[in-house]
Amino acid sequence: MTSIVVLGTGMAGFGATHRLRAEGIRPVVYEKSSFFGGHTASFLDAKGFTFDLGPHISFTKDARVQALLAGFVDDQYEALQVKLDNIWQGRRLTHPVQLHLNGLPRDLIVEIIADFVKVHEAEQRPIENYEDWLVASYGRKFAELFPMQYTRKYHLTTASNMSIDWLGPRMYRPTIEELVRGALAPWSPEVHYITNFRYPKRGGFVSYLHEFPEMADIRLGHEVVAVDPRQRTVRFANGKTTGYGALVSSLPLPELIPMVVGAPRDVVDAAGRLACSTCVLVNVGVNRADLSEAQITYAYDEDLSFTRLSFPHMLSANNAPAGFGSIQAEVYFSSKYRPLTQTTEQIIDQVIVDLRRAGVLKEGDEIVSRHASVVRHANVIFDLERFDAVKTVHGFLDDVGIAYCGRYGDWGYMWTDESFISGEHAAEAALVSVVA
């Protein structure tokens, strides 16, 4: 019997393994894919472009995690100043828009400011959902034109159907003075939660995990089909079974719970109510490097297929051949709210059309590489069913002694450092259960 088994080789599984190594333990880590890294994986395509499995940058302010990640790549990383912008009705607007209204039509600016003042002078109402929070923070005019519209593209549901327990520092609430200052002229306030970030010089974001195979016995091609917490066994699709003294799982809760032997019906139902998005990542290589001034661009218009763009060659020059540029477009779907019905080729075609419409691709640009990846579990959707469902599921896993971690184990909105730390915490829980 293996004392501690880890399921999943993403950043959370890596964090768990790192914590176990500190105790002299080299765990067995199982991964269903033919590669390790989970959502942290990176791939080099046939044309010499490196694309991550989703846009990844490290902007942690945790000095310990900063030092760890830097050490994992032998201090070979790019340190970059963040540049973000937005596409809205043919305009490129500075991010965040609420602090840079000067790029909007004058009459609209007046409406937004007047509405903002009216809301802030009114008696405060109870905040019951994300829409309430947005209107109370920005006024309805701005809320409906920008964050509520983006919510329908990114979270795939309405703001009125979302909670606010995911917000943290992600949405900045300006003062009236800040709103007006940004309406009058361009300025550079330091208010965004990301100001600078790090990215490996070579190999894509997965380079942060290059020590993983030395730290653990990684077994690829092992898809979990059953977990028996009483017998303390895990069974895989390839027919193999392993025992465990303690189990750490970063598997998505809606997949894990139905596989747990003896899971009560109410727990299975709760897991089924958890919603997340599926992301089709469209990767495009272009014969021009000056594609954007920003590394990441948010697209608000609902007639544009993509929700967000990133430009991997701007994170590291080694992500593209010299003189070439790369684009990664995110197109979101959800089995609960917006099912995926198109083929990946249809989505690629539409993204390229929309990149031209938005002015990102210009006349004469040659597309030298194009392909897409479908990421089944992308972003957790914080709809109003999430809180109670997660409480039920986590309570059950605590009872049967399965430690959970990462974005899809905690079922939260996690960045790189948070996923890594979540894995460490799950490993500590597993260590305690083994001792007990």
Same domain, 106 and 33: no
Q: Could you read off the pLDDT of 193-214 as tens digits, one per residue?
A: 677 899 999 999 999 999 999 9
Instruction: Answer with the one of 118, 150, 184 that is the final residue of a domain.
Output: 184
pLDDT of res. 2? 57
Same domain, 43 and 111: no
Instruction: Answer with the one of 184, 217, 251 that is the final residue of a domain.
Output: 184
Whether residue 311 is contained in a domain is answered as: no
Same domain, 262 and 214: yes
CATH, residue 397: 3.50.50.60
Whether residue 262 is contained in a domain is answered as: yes
Same domain, 100 and 20: no
What is this structure's pTM?
Answer: 0.94
Same domain, 393 and 246: yes
Same domain, 35 and 103: no
pLDDT of res. 193? 64
Tokens representing 376? 């089944």
Same domain, 177 and 212: no
Q: What does the alpha-carbon distance between residue 398 and residue 252 come to, in Å, rounded to a whole number? A: 16
pLDDT of res. 124? 84
Same domain, 262 and 141: no
Whether residue 364 is contained in a domain is answered as: no
Whether residue 340 is contained in a domain is answered as: no
- Residue 236 CB neighbours (<10 A): 17
Whether residue 79 is contained in a domain is answered as: no
* Boundaries of domain holding 150: 96-184
Same domain, 107 and 148: yes
* 207 Cα distance to chain centroid: 18
Residue ranges in the chain whose pLDDT is less than 70? 1-2, 190-193, 435-436
pLDDT of res. 1? 43
Same domain, 6 and 154: no
Same domain, 224 and 101: no
Whether residue 271 is contained in a domain is answered as: yes
Whether residue 264 is contained in a domain is answered as: yes
Domains held by the chain: number = 2
Whether residue 194 is contained in a domain is answered as: no
Same domain, 216 and 258: yes
